[in-house]
Amino acid sequence: MLDQKTIDLVKSTVPAIKENGLTITKTFYKNMFERSPEIVPFFNMDNQASGKQPKALAMTILAAAENIDNLEKLAPAVDKVAKVHCNCKVVPEQYPIIGKHLLEAIKEVLQDAVTDEIIEAWGKAYAVIADIFIEAEKQEYAARTNA
């Protein structure tokens, strides 16, 4: 899992995430769709236009930051998102693309408030969280195959 320093650095960003989470996720989606258009078909563009998806992701990022030392608390949300991701045919190979753009959006929006050390901590946290989602999706795909 994550070392205490990483946990502390991620938790230190909670106030900034609370204040700027929606701006981060809107920036994230805009940049990702422009720079990685191959990923666009995996997203519901109606949920993008309505703002539903950026809001949901902002809340997920905040919950992850607040609970980075106890990610098990996110299990109900992870299970719900895993079902959505499986409906959209998300695959593990997409997570590095998403992570890259998410970290860039955090840096772009929070600017000087985010040091290289904080971005590195978020990178480590994202890797752990991505693995949790990948495993949940693997189980969901298996359940669907066996059904």
Asked whether the beta carbons of 77 and 63 are under 8 A apart, the reply is: yes
**Choice among 29, 95, 126, 140 that is catalytic:** 95
29 catalytically annotated:
no
Q: Please enumerate in sequence order all residues whose Cβ is within 8 A of that of 50, keeping only pairs 6 or more positions apart, or say none.
A: none
| Known catalytic membership, residue 95 | yes
The set of residues, in sequence order, having a beta carbon less than 8 Å from that of 62 and lying 6+ positions away, is 14, 17, 18, 21
Q: Answer yes or no: are the C-beta atoms of 10 and 115 closer than 8 Å.
A: no
Choice among 29, 126, 137, 140 that is catalytic? 137
For residues 140 and 48, give the distance between their C-alpha atoms in angstroms, rounded to a whole number.
Answer: 24
**Count of residues making up the chain:** 147
Active site residues: 95, 137
